[in-house]
Every structure is written in C-alpha cells, then in structure tokens.
Homo-oligomer: A and B are copies of this chain.
Amino acid sequence: MTGAEESQLLELEERFRGGDVRALARALTLAESGHPLGQALLKRLRGRGQAKVVGVTGSPGAGKSTLTDRLILEARRRGERVGVLAVDPSSPFTGGAILGDRIRMMRHHQDPGVFIRSMASRGALGGLAGATVAALNLLEAFGFDRIFVETVGVGQSEVDIARVADTTLLVLTPAAGDAVQAFKAGVMEIADLFAINKFDLPGGERLIQELKGALELSPPRPGGWHPPIYPTVAATGEGVEALFEGLEAHHRHLVEHGLLAAQRLERARFEVESVIQDWGRRKTQAAEALVARVAKGELSPEEAALTLLRPEA
C-alpha cells in the first residue's frame, strides 16, 4: 500500500467509525469490487458490532421485497437501526424485474435509520459471493442492530444464505408449485422460519398442512427448534408483527442454546471457502497455461492446483 493509499484508508476508517453513511457506501463499493483498500479496511473493522442477521429467501415473485419492506417498518417501530443487503442474481433474465420490485423499499430512503444496498451476486456456481459476506460484515461493523439479506432463492444461494445468516426465513406462496419446489430442492432443511405470503390467495391453509407434514419428517434441528409457519399478506402488513416476533424467538433460541457462536463460525468458514474458491477460478494467463498442461496430461490437477496457489514454491 502506498502512503497516499494509507492516508486514504485512515481517513475512510475515521469517517466510518464516526457513522458517516457515505463512508459506509464507499467501503461497500470497495468491498464489492474486491479492492485491496476494502479488504484492509474490513480487517481493521472486524469484530466491531453485533447485529441480528436475517436471511430472506424464496422463489421470484414470492413477495420477498415487499415482506422485507414490512419487516423493516416493524424493526423501526421497535427502535432498531436496519441495514439491508439485496442480492441480485446475475441472470439478465430476471435481474430487471427484481430490481423493479425493490423500488418499493425506496420509501425508507429518507429514514436515516435504514440503509439499503443492492449487490450483484457474482458468486461462483451461482451462490452467494464472498463479497456479499464482506458487505454484510461492513454493515455489522457500522453498528446496525438488524441486517436483512434478501436473496432470490435459486439453488445454491439459498444454501449459502443459511450459512451466513443467523436466522433464515423462507418465503413461500400458495401459488402452485411453490411447495413442490421447496420440498424438492431440500431448502426445507435450511429454513428456520416459513412465511406463507400472499395468504389471501386460495390454497394457503393446504400449503400450511403440507409443510407441517413435511417438517414432521425432516431431521431434528439444533437445540430442538421447530420451524414455525406464519401466514402473511405483505401488501397489507397482515401477519408481519407475528412473523417479527418469530424472528426474535429464533434469535433467543440461538442465544439460549449457545448456538450463535456456531453460526458465526459457519459464516467465517463460508468466507474462507469463498476466498479459496475464487482463487481456484482465476482465469489468469498462468492459470490457463497450467490447465492446458493438465489437459495434455503433462500435469496432474493436484500439481496444477499447487503451482497455482503457491507460485513461489
């Protein structure tokens, strides 16, 4: 790091610690782009703050953004400062529509107690990116009481969010296929709570019964937690207060059973794995040359990996 960069870092850190939202925004941009300054800042701020981190996931159209919007209002009513990470899948097919949905959350724009950030999901294999967790750590270090991480539930990102969040909320709707999707993809096991949103549509009660049946067959949870199911209508706010109480109950469960530390350990494990995975996917000239030698049979994959990761060895 040059002297100029170092003084830039110190200035940014001071503004960040002072609660300057623009410093947070700048830090997030640095973290998202993988800039070394962002990593250096994050390192100095690590361990600062302790938020209740809630992952909100579910299929597109389940109303996750509207429900998150309602949960923000409820958290604000209780005096909490709220950070939101809205993670977009990089798919060009769905990106636009989801961003559109999120405009609903814009009403919090004038509220200094709410900070919302959209991020592109650029994780390998379609999962959460390491940068997403870096952003989450920054929000936590900034001192928010609660952080919502909203991800579109498409395969891997749902599994990842459960590793990163303290509490994972799966949003379903009575719409045909939603339950089937949940049961198929094995996301049942990652949800700590369920919201049956758009409960004013027909089929809500049946979905609850199906879900209860499936939950009875699923393996027991740490500390004997039984995932509750909450009917909600995010558009009107119906059921949101009860759902928020459910989030609080799950957090108390984690604390009372000493499970919060294990969850934070899992988040750190995810971060380290993400870094290593990213390194493995670097398409530098050197990496490509090594891969070509593997394809020719000149090197084993193990030898190539070793050379790639330990260039000085």
Contact residues of A with B, CB < 8 Å? Answer: 39, 42-43, 46-48, 91, 125, 127, 130, 155-156, 159, 177, 180, 185-186, 261, 264-265, 267-269, 271-277, 279-281, 287, 290-292, 294-298, 300-305, 308-310, 312-313
Which listed residue (B180, B271, B295, B300) contacts A265, Cβ 8 A? B295
Are B310 and A272 in touch, CB under 8 angstroms?
no
**A277 lies within 8 A of B280 (CB):** yes
For residue A48, which residues in chain B have a CB less than 8 angstroms away from its CB?
A: 297
Closest residue on chain B to residue A290 by CB atoms: B272
B308 touches A310 (CB 8 A): no
Q: Are B272 and A276 neighbours in the complex by a CB distance under 8 Å? A: no
Picked from B43, B267, B280, the residue with its CB within 8 Å of the CB of A272 is B280
Q: Which of B155, B274, B297, B303 contacts A301 (CB 8 A)?
A: B274
Whether A39 lies near B302 (C-beta < 8 A) is yes
Q: Which residues from B are CB-within-8-Å of A271?
A: 294, 301
CA distance in complex: A18, B267 (Å)? 50
What are 21 contact pairs spanning A and B, CB under 8 A? Answer: A43-B303, A47-B298, A125-B125, A125-B159, A130-B301, A177-B177, A268-B291, A269-B291, A272-B305, A273-B280, A274-B301, A276-B279, A276-B305, A276-B308, A277-B277, A279-B305, A280-B280, A309-B309, A309-B310, A310-B310, A312-B313
Of the listed residues A130, A280, A303, the one surrounded by the most CB atoms of chain B closer than 10 A to its CB is A280
Q: How far is the CB of A89 from chain B (nearest CB, A)?
A: 10
Instruction: Give the contacting residue for A291; candidates B42, B265, B274; CB below 8 A.
Output: B265
Report copies per complex. 2
Residue of B nearest to A186 (CB): B91
Given contacts A127-B125, A272-B290, A295-B265, A300 and B155 within 8 Å (CB-CB): no
* Other A-B pairs, 15, CB within 8 Å; known A47-B298, A268-B292, A276-B279: A47-B296, A125-B127, A125-B159, A155-B185, A156-B156, A177-B177, A264-B295, A265-B291, A271-B294, A272-B287, A272-B308, A275-B304, A277-B277, A279-B309, A312-B313
Question: Would you call A301 and B125 a contact (CB within 8 A)?
Answer: no
Closest chain B residue, CB of each to CB of A40: B300
Q: 8 nearest interchain CB pairs?
A: A47-B297, A276-B280, A46-B297, A271-B301, A268-B295, A268-B294, A275-B305, A43-B300
* Beta-carbon contact of A300 and B125 below 8 Å: no
Give, as a whole number of angstroms, the nearest-CB distance from A269 to chain B: 5
Chain B residues positioned under 8 Å from A185 (CB to CB): 155
Measured between beta carbons, the chain B residues less than 8 angstroms from A91 are 186
A309 contacts which chain B residues (CB < 8 A)?
276, 279, 309-310
Q: Which residues does chain B contribute within 8 Å of A275, judged by CB atoms? A: 280, 301-302, 304-305
